[in-house]
Amino acid sequence: MQFGLFGSAQARRGGPDLDSGAGFRDFVAYNIEAEAIGYHSTFLVEHHFTGFGQVSATLNLLTWIGARTTTLRLGTAVLVLPWHNPVLLAEQAATLDLLSGGRFDFGIGKGYRYNEFAGFCVPMEEAEARFDECVEVMTRAWTSETPWSHQGKYWQFKDVVVEPPTAQKPHPPIWMGAEHPESIKKVAARGYHLLLGQFSSVEEIGERIAIFKEAVEAQGRPFDPMTVGVARSINVVMTKAEYEKAIENRMMGRRRTYQLADREAKTRSEADIRRAAEDGTLYGTPDEIADKLQALRDVGAEYVLLNSAGGLTSLRRFAHEILPAFADTPALRAAV
């Protein structure tokens, strides 16, 4: 198996005595240590208007991380294309790919949080059409060597050549988040890699990997399990009380996400919220986490992206006490 990171950083608001950038610097240090331990990648979210400082300028922070690392792949999970000018985004992504020596993984999505669409004054009903047009423009921007023009429904460009060129050809690997069978089949049809979310159960992960594998092979392409990234929240806890506290924190985060995502307030039972909170976790003792990781492997997951709810402490314990039995990467085995 191969392991990367998934998550966010926070820059808190406050008065003149609060260092708002401390969370970002801590996150950079977290990624530097992850690379030293032997982790393969880091995938960073994009979110806006949360009130608690999640990453909004995702490529900026990844560029800073890229400057402080040498082997860590730098991914987005995901950039929400309907909000972005595709030519400007293509230029920024190409710059990161070039400066990092071809380490950029371009994870994209259509978005799901109502408050973000409302904040940008972009109707959610336009998300899919904007997404499709943005992908078309960005792909053309990365692969065209001569001036081109585009007259679309949402964006228009005249006689442009996007600079700089990307380091990876024809462009960085494109990853796309999807859950429903038809969406997963579309990811395969586009030739993209698949990102599976951290709130899906092991059984759902297995079903979705099987759908993707079948769709890829139906097109005559070999299936590579490393083209599917599975996000999991990790927290090494040693007692039942620590576990319950960790799950309650995750449930609080899930409630907050529901509030940001819903157009209208919806009633969800505490049982449903707990189930959603627990389904995607690698929480427990090292032995319990190893069992959960093996269950993922048994359904076809080989590339796991860890969102460490326990911070560096859990990341280190996971690396030293669990990964040696699962790591396929020589550098990771040597590091741990």
What residue segments make up the domains of the chain, in order of their start?
Answer: 2-225+324-335
User: Which whole number is the average pLDDT over 261-283?
Assistant: 83
Tens of pLDDT, residue by residue over 286-317, are 999 999 999 999 999 999 999 998 889 999 99
The 3-state DSSP class for residue 229 equals strand
Q: How far is CA 160 from CA 38, 87, 137, 142, in A?
A: 41, 9, 11, 11
Q: Which residues pair with 75 in a beta bridge?
A: 43, 105
**Mean of pLDDT over the chain:** 93
Instruction: Return the pLDDT at 265.
Output: 58
Q: Which of 300, 307, 270 is nearest to 3 (CA)?
A: 307
Q: Which tokens go with 261?
A: 């995502």
- 330 pLDDT exceeds 60? no
Sort strands 156-160 and 148-151 into parallel, antiparallel or unpaired.
Answer: antiparallel
HSE value, Cβ hemisphere, 13 Å, CA-based, for 132:
7
Neighbours of 311 (CB within 10 A): 11
Q: Tell which CATH architecture fits domain 2-225+324-335.
A: Alpha-Beta Barrel (3.20)
Instruction: Return the pLDDT at 329.
Output: 53
Q: Which residues pair with 3 in a beta bridge?
A: 304
Instruction: Return the pLDDT at 4.
Output: 97
